[in-house]
Amino acid sequence: MLGIRSLLLGVLSAWVVAGHNLRANNISTGYRIDVHSHVIPPVWREALIAAGYPVKNGTVYTDGFPVPDWTLESHLATMDTLGINFSTISVSAPGVYFLNDPKEAHALARTVNLAMHNYTQAHPTRLGALCLLPLPHFCLDTLKFPGVGTNANGTYLGNSTLGPVFSVLNERQATVFVHPAAPGCQSVSLGYPFPLTEYPFDSVRAMENLLLSGQRAKNPDVKMIFAHGGGAMPYLASRYYFDTASATSAIQLAAMKSFIGVEQILTGTDYPYVPLSQSEAALPAIQGNGEFTDAEMARMNHQNALSLFPRVAKVLGYWSSCSPAQYWNCLFVA
Ligand SMILES: *[C@@H]1O[C@H](CO)[C@@H](O)[C@H](O)[C@H]1NC(C)=O
Ligand SMILES: *[C@@H]1O[C@H](CO)[C@@H](O)[C@H](O)[C@H]1NC(C)=O
Ligand SMILES: *[C@@H]1O[C@H](CO)[C@@H](O)[C@H](O)[C@H]1NC(C)=O
Ligand SMILES: *[C@@H]1O[C@H](CO)[C@@H](O)[C@H](O)[C@H]1NC(C)=O
Ligand SMILES: *[C@@H]1O[C@H](CO)[C@@H](O)[C@H](O)[C@H]1NC(C)=O
Ligand SMILES: *[C@@H]1O[C@H](CO)[C@@H](O)[C@H](O)[C@H]1NC(C)=O
């Protein structure tokens, strides 16, 4: 039995270094940052198979969904095809918590993080990594990643046992990417693959749990991105950011635009789980479906992401010397 799995967290540090700030005014409207795409390091795939996830015709399945073929080259080629300039990569559900031995989970997280580090080192102007907790200090201080990630193994984000993790993230004013996973109760999915219904509802559970437990209020400086347009309940969440992966229809975009506003929408593709043919049609349709202006598109394509990930802005050269107080002005004043 695979046991309970909860949320996969990617955390991107949002260090605003005094005296240095964003200079995004010379970025073209179409410059796209994909905050939601996944890597499948061979070592992780092998660990899934070794742990007993079913393999059919050479493909391993997690939560009833095939884990796609993936290579770094295919990732970069897909970014080119889709016109994605920069991606913040992560490992999808089930993270590392399918391993029952915490030491093994720890070790696999470290190996996966090092693999992602390698990818970003090889392509620093195209890839940033969201690495897996439980190693926040390792990730933030040793590797100097723009991020950290975790999977809470059935413990939702509001749980007080995660308080210390949130304190560290809050101190660092970190940006957290929350990816949904299978809920603990397997029977509710009625036999359908978890990503269909349970992933969106698990996002809602996590958002609700964060609010009701007080974890969100206690850690106001943590910025949080939820995948797939916020799952099933965007209107819960004026305090979160949402990405557009599988959320590009007119109805979804209208809901996001009116409930949370374009300031909190980010671009996401969910590559390689969502096939290229689908993203290739979906990305260019966003502007028309959502009736967004060019200025709003620039917000969603890159400005919002760069403001959440100043480290990425710095790597890309979109960085100026205006003061932190002028942060937002730096984004918009030519
Ligand atoms: C943005 O403009 C500045 C000069 O104002 C330049 O130094 C920087 O390289 C530009 N960034 C990009 C990515 O074009
Ligand atoms: C098994 O995989 C091969 C190679 O990807 C493919 O051509 C074939 O159609 C697959 N068979 C089934 C039953 O899915
Ligand atoms: C961003 O990507 C687009 C499409 O691939 C490309 O035309 C453009 O030059 C890229 N912009 C930068 C600043 O790299
Ligand atoms: C996950 O939870 C299960 C029991 O629910 C436990 O046996 C396992 O050790 C936990 N895994 C980690 C990595 O903490
Ligand atoms: C990272 O790259 C180094 C050097 O290319 C290699 O020795 C190492 O095995 C790689 N680590 C992982 C986890 O992929
Ligand atoms: C918090 O997580 C622990 C460990 O998974 C669990 O035993 C406990 O019931 C959780 N508490 C709440 C309030 O959910």
pTM of structure: 0.73
CB of 154 closer than 6 A to ligand 4? yes
Residues 140-173 pLDDT 10s? 444 434 343 333 556 788 888 788 888 888 887 8
Of 57-71, 109-123, 183-197, 210-224, give the lowest mean pLDDT range. 183-197
Q: What is the pLDDT of residue 187?
A: 63
Minimum-distance ligand to the CA of 316? Answer: 1
CB of 334 closer than 6 A to ligand 1? no
Question: What's the Cα-to-Cα distance from 82 to each of 78, 210, 228, rounded to whole Å?
Answer: 6, 34, 18
Among residues 94, 95, 93, the alpha carbon closest in space to that of 113 is found at 95
Ligand 1 centroid–CA 113 distance in Å is 31
- How does the average pLDDT of the chain come out, rounded? 77
Protein residue with its CA nearest to atom 14 in ligand 3:
85
**Atom number, ligand 4, closest to the C-alpha of residue 134:** 13
**Atom number, ligand 5, closest to the C-alpha of residue 114:** 13
Which sequence spans correspond to the domains of the chain?
8-45+71-332
Q: Which CATH architecture has domain 8-45+71-332?
A: Alpha-Beta Barrel (3.20)
Residues 279-288 pLDDT 10s? 999 999 999 9
pLDDT of 38 strictly over 90: yes
**Coil, strand, or helix at residue 320?**
strand
Minimum-distance ligand to the CA of 125? Answer: 3
Integer Cα distance of 132 and 119 in angstroms: 15
Ligand 5 centroid–CA 35 distance in Å is 24
CB of 97 closer than 6 A to ligand 4? yes
**Atom number, ligand 4, closest to the C-alpha of residue 101:** 9
Integer Cα distance of 330 and 130 in angstroms: 25
Q: What is the pLDDT of residue 326?
A: 40
Residues 88-129 pLDDT 10s? 999 888 888 788 777 888 889 889 989 998 999 999 999 998
| Unique residue bearing structure tokens 């992401």 | 305
Q: What is the pLDDT of residue 318?
A: 75
Ligand 2 centroid–CA 59 distance in Å is 9
CB of 150 closer than 6 A to ligand 4? no
Residues 235-257 pLDDT 10s? 455 668 889 988 888 988 998 88
Of 133-142, 176-185, 234-243, give the lowest mean pLDDT range. 133-142
Protein residue with its CA nearest to atom 5 in ligand 3:
83
Asked if residue 130 lies in contact with residue 149, where contact means CB atoms within 8 angstroms, the answer is: yes
Of 84-93, 239-248, 299-308, 319-328, give the lowest mean pLDDT range. 319-328
Structure tokens at 181: 């996973």
